[in-house]
Every structure is written in structure tokens, then in C-alpha cells.
Amino acid sequence: MKITGNTQVFFVIADPIGQVRAPELFNRVFELHGVDAVVVPLQVAAEDFEPTVRALFRSPSTGGVFLSIPHKPAALTVADRCSELAEVAGAVNALRRGRDGAIEGELFDGLGFVKALDDAHIAYAGRRVLLIGAGGAASAAAATLAARGTSEIAIFDPVADKAMQLASRIVSAFRIDAYAAASNDPAGYDLVVNVSPLGMKTDDPVPFDVARLDDGAAVFDVLMKNQPTPLVRAARARGLTAEPGFEMLIQQAPLYLRFFGLEAAASGIENDASALRAMIYPPELLDSHRLS
């Protein structure tokens, strides 16, 4: 990678930062498509988040900022303006400098999620969905599912108030049947999505009882670490469709690039993302993706 005084610098901000895959992925995109830019990881504590972002955007070298845990909700307050979807979800995962100098925010997690479902031929329109977790990823998934015609969204979180608040926002914005689930029992749902951190550690419990899934139900585990997780393995052992979170990042890549004004690179990834999949999929999961 050749870095010059004209190179645009993009930052990925998270805490912790070690699990984030965006730097290697997007630096490969820039290399493949001849973009004079670099993505740099930046670990920032919650209390330092806002001043750090504002300082970065004071530099014209800053092309934009990618955001990961736990900063997506806080970015909503830093952005001078953002999309309605981001407002409903209460989170932002990308920031850029607008033409007028304002900081603009957008949320791609939800759209990347439903595009990953489409890629795996998992239906969600008119279906009953259970989300395990009520954080930033769950908010994005819930808002986008509601916008795309899901008929019922149940949300389970150990902190019941979080699930109730998210469900209330979804009902208010989309007028669909959304509610806080009383338990993590997956029985009766067409699609069950793990949007919790359970599975990031090897000794984590499975987020729900896989034996309780209906025949024909599908599972999506948004995690990109320790895949295939015990959840994905257990669901596949039952013969059910169960997908890891890698495709969410693949499907989001063109969205980020277009948001940052890199249209040629975005179109290139839409036409052929095989190099990126080879980077982030474990071999056995890449093979199953090719066969799907």
C-alpha cells in the first residue's frame, strides 16, 4: 500500500477494536480498485468518543468514520443530520463530512442484514421474527425488517426495558406488531436472529434452545467471531438453514463506499465480491456459501 500526502484516511472506531474486520476488508477494496485511501483502526473509550470524532473531522484528510461497538448510539448525537432509519434505530455506523461541513450519519447494519438474508434465500416479509438482543445491531435489524414488510417482531433481552423501548420505537414508526418477548423461547417463529454478544467467547452459552426451533425455521447469527458458532452448528445439525454474520459485512461494503463517494469501488464490489468473501469466510463456510 502506497500512502502519500494526498491519501484519504478513514477510521474505524470501537472499544475493543480487536474483533473489527473493516480495516483489512476495505484496505483490500482500495488496493483492488486503485483508491488512494487507507482505513485505520482506532480504539476509543466511550467518554472520549465525541471529542475524538470532532477532532478527526477537523482534518480535510479524514475521508470518513466507520463505527462499531459501543459507539453507534452515541454517534447519533454527534451527527448533525442522519437518515430516518438511523433515527428510529437509535444508532449510526458511518459518519462523513457533508458539503456544508456538517457531520452526516447513516446506518447500514440493517440493510446489510436483510441483503444477507436475501443472499441466503431466507424469507422475512410477512414472517414472524424473534431477535435475541436489543442493542445497536438489534435496533438496525428491527427497523429494517419492519420497513421491509416483516409481520411480527419479538425482541428478547435480559434487560427487559431495552427490549420494550426498542419495540415501542418500531411500533411508533412502522405500525406493525412489535413487542418485548417474555423469554428467549424460539418456538413459533419463522426466523430467529442472534443479535446479542453471546457466542463471541468460546465458553458463552447458546443464546436459545435450538431444540425448540420449529421445523423449517431459519437462524441468523450476526457474530463474525468464532464462526461457525455453537448456535450455527447446532441449527445446521438439525438440518435447518443457519447463517453466520459474514455476509452482512460483505453486503454493507458497497453501501459504505457509496456513502463515502467511492462509486467505482462500490460498483466493483457489487459485481464481484469473491476476493472479500475469501478473506473473511472460514473455508468450510465459504464452501457452503458457494453451494447456497
| Burial of 202 from C-beta contacts in 10 A (0-12 / 13-18 / 19+) | exposed
Q: Please, are residues 133 and 195 in contact by the beta-carbon 8 Å criterion?
A: yes
Cβ atoms 252, 124 nearer than 8 A: no
CA distance 250 to 16: 21
Catalytic site includes residue 72: yes
| Cell numbers describing residue 273 | 465480491
Q: How many CB atoms lie within 10 A of CB 50?
A: 15
Scanning the structure block, which residue is given the C-alpha cell 436489543? 134
Query: How many C-alpha atoms does 249 have within 13 Å on its Cβ side?
Result: 26
Instruction: Give the active site residue among 72, 115, 162, 225.
Output: 72
d(CA 169, CA 250): 28
CA distance 280 to 231: 19
> Which grid cell is 96?
462523513
- Type of residue at 147: A
Contacts of 156 (CB under 8 A, 6+ apart): 130, 131, 132, 133, 134, 163, 180, 181, 182, 183, 184
Q: Which residues are catalytic?
A: 72
